[in-house]
Amino acid sequence: MKMTLTTMTLAGLALAMTAGTTLADDRGGWGRGGADNGDRGARMMQRFEDMDADKDGSVTLAEFSARMIERFDAADADKDGSITTAELEKALPGRRASEMAPMLLARFDIDSNQSVTKVELANRQAKMFALLDLDDSGAISKEELPKGGMMMGGGHRNGKGRN
C-alpha cells in the first residue's frame, strides 16, 4: 500500500515539529531548533537520537512527546492547563513571535477555542506518532523514518507504508 502525499507530509512534519524544528530549540525555548547544516536527513537522525532517551534505538510515544510537554508546561504562564496565543507569543523567541504564535496554536487547537490544552496536545502527538510507527509496534525505529527527512514520489522505502 502506498502512502498518500498528505500522510507523508504529516509524517515528516510530525517528527520535525516534535523534535524541535518548529517548537523547541536547543536552548529549551520555542522556535527553530538544532544546528542548521542544510541536511534534513542528518538533522532528522540527530533529533531521533535526541528523543531516544533510553538509547535503545527506538522512540516510544512517551519519548516522542516529552519535549513537547516540557515546552507546553513552560509556555503555560498562568498554569491553568491551557496555552493561549498570548502565552505562546511570550514563549517564542525572536521578532516573528507574533506571527508564529497564532499559526502554531492553530495546528493543535482541535476545538477551535483559541487555546490548546494538554489533552489536545496529547491527541495530536498520538496521531503524529501513529503516522510514523509504520509497523504498529508502539515504537518508531530509524528504519521507519522517511529517507532524507521528506519523501517525494509516493512510496515509503519499497512502497510499503500505510495511508
Specify the DSSP class assigned to residue 118. Answer: H
pLDDT of residue 37: 41
What are the distances in angstroms from CA 154 to CA 3, 23, 104, 144, 158? Answer: 6, 27, 27, 15, 10
The pLDDT value recorded for residue 94 is 87
- The predicted pLDDT at position 86 comes to 94
User: Measured between alpha carbons, how far is 99 from 51 in angstroms, rounded to an integer?
Assistant: 28
pTM of the model: 0.64
- Across the chain, mean pLDDT equals 75
- Amino acid sitting at position 5: L
* Radius of gyration in angstroms for the set of CA atoms belonging to the chain, rounded to a whole number: 16
Give the pLDDT score at 44.
85
Can you give the pLDDT at residue 125?
92
| CB 47 within 8 Å of CB 19 | yes
Q: Do the Cβ atoms of 34 and 23 come closer than 8 Å?
A: no
Residues of the chain short of pLDDT 70, as ranges, are 1-38, 147-163
